[in-house]
Structure 1
Amino acid sequence: MLILGVDPGSSITACGFIDPSTKKIEFDFIKFKQKTPQEERIFGVFEFISQIIRAFKPHEIAVESPFYSVNIKSAMVLSQIKAAVIIAAKQEGKNIFQYTPRQIKQAICGYGAADKNQVRFVLEKTLNIDLGDMPLDVSDALAVALTHIYTKGL
C-alpha cells in the first residue's frame, strides 16, 4: 500500500512516498522562484500533485495542515496551497487524511514540540535513508506519510 505524504508550502511543496510493505521510499518537490505570482504557485502545486498521483498511484494521501500563526496573509496563502493539494487528490479519487504539525512531531519524535531538524534526524534513522541536502520540506513530507502509516497501523 503506497502512502503519499504532502508538505504544502508556498515556496516549496514536497511529496514523500512510503510503501510500508516493501519499504520503498521516494520523494519529490516543486520549488517556486521568489517572484512567482501566487495564482501561478497554486496552479503549479495543483498540476504537480495531479501528475505525482497519476504517475505513482498512491492508495492514500496524507497532508500536513499548516500551522497558522498571527500572520493572516501567510495563513491565507498556505490555505490556498493546501486546497490545491486536496482538489488534485479528490479529482483523482483519493482519500485525504490531515495531520497537524504537532501530531506529526509526536508520531515521529515522541515530542510534539520537536524542531524540523529533530524530525529529519529521527526520520532518516527510522527509514534508513540519507536526505543529504534535500530541503527540510522533503523530510516533512516523508514524516507526514510515516505519521499516517503509524496512525492507521499499516
Structure 2
Amino acid sequence: MLIIGVDPGSSTTACGVIETTTKHIEFEVLKLKRNLNEVEKIMNVFEFIKKTIENYNPEEFAIETPFYSVNIKTAMILTQIKTAAIIAARLLNIPVYQYTPRQIKQAICGYGAADKKQIKFVVEKTLKIDLSSQPYDVSDAIAVALTHIYVRGL
C-alpha cells in the first residue's frame, strides 16, 4: 500500500511517500517564494499536492494539522494551505487522515514533545535513509506517513 504524508507550510510544503510493504521512500518538496500573496501560495500548494498524488497514486493521504499559533494570520494561512492539500486529495478520491504534531511525535519518538531533530533522527534510523541534506519538512512529512502506518496497523 502506498501512503503519502504531508507537512503543510506557508514557506515549504513537503510530501513523504512510503510503500508499506517494501518501505521504499520517495519525497517531494515545494519551496514557496516569499513574495507570493496568500492566494498564490494556496494555489501553488494545491497544484503541488495534486501533481504529487497523480505522480505516485497513493491509496491513503495523511496530513499534519497546523499547530497552535499565537499569530492569528499565520494560523489562518496554515489552515488554508492544509485545506488546499486536503481538497486536492479528496478531488482525486484519496481518503484523508489528520494527525496532530503531538500524535506524530508520540508515534515516532514515543515522546509527545520531541523536537524536529529527534524526529529526523528516528525517521532516518527507522527507514535506514540519510536525510542530512534535506530540510526538516521532509523528515516531518515522512513522519506523518509513518504515523499513519503505525496508527492504521499497515
Distance 2:33 2:46 in 1: 17
C-alpha displacement at 1:69, in angstroms?
A: 1.8
C-alpha displacement at 1:57, in angstroms?
A: 0.3
Aligned to 1:32: 32
Distance 2:47 2:66 in 1: 20
User: Please, what is the CA RMSD of the aligned residues?
Assistant: 0.6
Distance 1:71 1:15 in 2: 25
Aligned to 2:43: 43
TM-score (norm 1): 0.98
Distance 1:63 1:139 in 2: 13
Correspondence 1:129 to 2:111:
no
**Structure 1 unaligned residues grouped into runs of 5+:** none
Aligned to 1:13: 13
C-alpha displacement at 1:32, in angstroms?
A: 1.0
Aligned to 1:146: 146
* 2:67 partner letter: F
Aligned to 2:54: 54
**Structure 2 unaligned residues grouped into runs of 5+:** none
TM-score (norm 2): 0.98
Distance 1:35 1:114 in 2: 32
Aligned to 2:66: 66
Percent identity between the two aligned chains: 64
Distance 2:40 2:71 in 1: 21
C-alpha displacement at 1:132, in angstroms?
A: 2.0
C-alpha displacement at 1:70, in angstroms?
A: 1.4
Aligned positions of 1:88-107 closer than 5 A: 88-107=88-107
What is the aligned residue count? 154
Correspondence 1:117 to 2:131:
no
Residues 107-147 of structure 1, C-alpha deviations (whole Å, 9 max, x = no match): 00000000000000011000000012211000000000000
Instruction: Spell out structure 1 runs of 4+ moving beyond 2 A.
Output: none
Residues 30-77 of structure 1, C-alpha deviations (whole Å, 9 max, x = no match): 001211111111000000000011110000000000102211111100
* 1:86 partner letter: I
Distance 1:131 1:5 in 2: 16
